[in-house]
Amino acid sequence: MSNRKHVVIVGGGFGGINAARELKKADVNITVIDRTNHHLFQPLLYQVATAALSPGDIAVPIRSVLRKKPGLKIIHGTVTDINKSENYVVLEDGAHISFDYLILAPGARYNYFGNEHWKHHAPGLKTIGNALQIRETILLSLEKADRIEDPALREPYLTFVVIGGGPTGVEMAGAIAEIAKHSMMGDYDSFSPNETRIFLVEAGPKILSGYPDSLSRRAAHKLENMGVRVLTKTPVTNIEQNRVWFKDGSIETPNIIWAAGVAASPLLECLDTERDNSGRVKIQEDLSIPDHSNIFVIGDAAHLTDENGNPLPAVAPVAIQQGRHCGKMIRQEISTGSARKPFHYVDKGNMATIGRAKAVADIRGFKFSGFFAWVLWSIVHIFFLIGFRNRFRVFVEWMWHYITFKRGVRLITDREHKPAETEV
């Protein structure tokens, strides 16, 4: 019987994939478990939702990413429980999978702050299912508006509300503004682009709260110039079918998109260890959980502070670096018995796109906006896409969209409209 250690990785996102890649260099057995069969580039989901890209442009099968090697196994399944004392995980079908090391990278879901029924009316943007649901809602709204002659009656179908002023919300609002003013509106004759209304709603005092004030103001100004009404200090009080409520009124529309914060996967409750207000596990410097040095939590599921005591952000670069660190650390521990090194995040900057040739970037204290920031944003995002085919396709799609203002994937299918699950 083999004496090789068995490493189980839960989650095929940035953290899990990069941990697996490092561990492929080690003499271990690896099992990767994910509730889907693909690795998803979440930062570009909004472009699927707004019909700029196809799902296949930003997703690739996990089996294709990792390739086969002796001792590597991919399981399409959902982990429902974790037994820390006996070192095994339980799948939804009842199967038990034992481990010597466990790496948890289950990602996150959107946080509706105790109002879970809101997700039926305001889907988030975490999965391909979410993106396709939003895309079809937008397309169906435009089709309905095209059949209504009374401007007052068609106004709700030409109204879009994005809740949450972080990078996803800003990018989504900017993309919808481009749809409203340029790309899709040329397909409709019965209404004018000036009839569309786009609202970006933020409960805090500014959008892009993690960015310098100057870049936040520039982003808000650019969005306003694109026709987006930026509403700060405007918390949502309720969401109903086709209506979102605020303290001082409401907006009627079927196009409500939630991008207002994330919560960790409920799977982490099984660990029975300290978590923060978002449900993220408070981990140690080596990314393991207290009292169980063979169980690691990384990415959006982990709470770890930097040198200044600030929690690391739930962004792809953090997950990538933690995945690589965790995989390398386990590999060295098994092969040489070397002591573990604490994880240190190298912050390479923040960036968010606002629209066509418009973006803001804060890279190690250097602040950029406009076309140059957009070029940087495009290069970084294409670089992180896995697979040459995906990079080439996205580059071609972006250039085509930039030159022609046209969006290519404007299909309405017969898929059922219901909230897609976001947990791993």
* 3 state SS of 175: helix
Neighbours of 127 (CB within 10 A): 23
Cα distance between residue 271 and residue 73, in whole Å: 24
Q: Determine the Cα–Cα distance for residues 350 and 208; give it in Å rounded to an integer.
A: 10
Please name every residue paired with 295 in a beta bridge, in sequence order, or none if there are none: 102
User: Angle at Cα 361 formed by Cα 355 and Cα 363, nearest 5°?
Assistant: 160
Candidates 22, 136, 171, 178; catalytic one: 171
CA pair distance 21, 35, nearest whole angstrom: 19
Indicate if 202 belongs to the active site. Answer: no
Phi and psi torsions of 298, nearest 5°: -135, 170
Residue 412 and residue 367: Cα distance in Å, rounded?
A: 40
Q: Is the dihedral of CA 135, 136, 137, 139 positive or negative?
A: positive
Residue whose tokens read 């040489």: 336
Query: Which residues have a Cβ under 8 Å from the Cβ of 264 and sit 6 or more positions away?
Result: 106, 108, 109, 275, 278, 279, 280, 281, 300, 301
Q: Which two tokens stand for residue 279?
A: 């449900």
- As annotated, the active-site residues are 171
